[in-house]
Amino acid sequence: MTTTIELMRAHRSIRKFTQEAITPEQLSAIMAAAQSASSSSFLQASSVIRITDTALRQQVMALCGNQDYVGSAAEFWVFCADFHRHLQWVPDAKTGFAEQLLIGAIDTALMGQNALTAAESLGLGGVFIGAVRNEPVALCELLSLPKGVIPLFGLCLGHPDQHPEPKPRLPASMMFMENGYWQVHSDAGMKEYDEQVRHYYQTRTGGKKDTSWTGQIGETLAREARPFMFEFLQRQGFCLK
């Protein structure tokens, strides 16, 4: 096992940070690693908004469900899919296609994962924030995001002030398949995994949370999340055709 693999396998989300700042050298290294991520057709369809203004950070935090670590982390970045830049330099470029949403989302996710892995290699920690999509219109106005740009997720970065255990992942046999999709999985395997997840939550919360993976998924997928999203995407010039 290499140190890179060990680092990636040791990943856990950090939501509590010390007051120590991230150095300019560390920031530069993380940014360089993020930019080195793969890019579909070399479109580089991503932009990152670094929130350094304290008052602005508080406003962003309010739009993200008032998750306090959005305000307390040393760094908070908003990762965006961005085709505005392409239209600025190539006005005749054809945009608005559904495939471009996928390209922007994939490119940006790869960039975000590179950033977090680089940060973890420097002894830092972080957590992704999907709640930047809670009130996307307000966030676009707050950050002056033009048409062709959509916020996808945030990233808190800082020096960890907690050391939670990594969450247990699904058995590899349920996620990695060969020569086709395996539609039937072991009930016993899922039952065992459910118990692992239940034990993880009970231990992490001191018994305050008692749920399995399938129980959590049942709650999460019981209703549509962010039903305004399609209208917002079209407002910003995505998924028009």
pLDDT digits (tens, 9 = 90+) for 118-175: 999 999 999 999 999 999 999 999 999 999 999 999 999 999 999 999 999 999 989 9
Q: Residue 21 gets which letter from DSSP?
A: P
Say what the pLDDT of residue 97 is: 97
Is 3-165+228-235 in CATH node 3.40.710.10? no
pLDDT at 184 over 90: no
Confidence class of residue 185 from pLDDT cuts 50, 70 and 90? confident
227-240: average pLDDT: 97
Residue 27 phi, psi dihedral angles, 5° rounding: -60, -45
Say what the pLDDT of residue 1 is: 85
Q: Is 180 helix (H, G, I), strand (E, B) or coil?
A: coil
pLDDT in tens, 107-127: 999 999 999 999 999 999 999
Say what the pLDDT of residue 211 is: 95
26-43: average pLDDT: 98
- What's at 14, amino acid-wise? I
Q: Return d(Cα 159, Cα 85) in angstroms, integer.
A: 33
Inter-residue contact 70 to 156 (CB < 8 Å): yes
The segment(s) of the chain belonging to CATH 3.40.109.10 are: 3-165+228-235
CA 130 to chain CA centroid, nearest Å? 6
Confidence class of residue 204 from pLDDT cuts 50, 70 and 90? confident
- Average pLDDT of the chain is 96
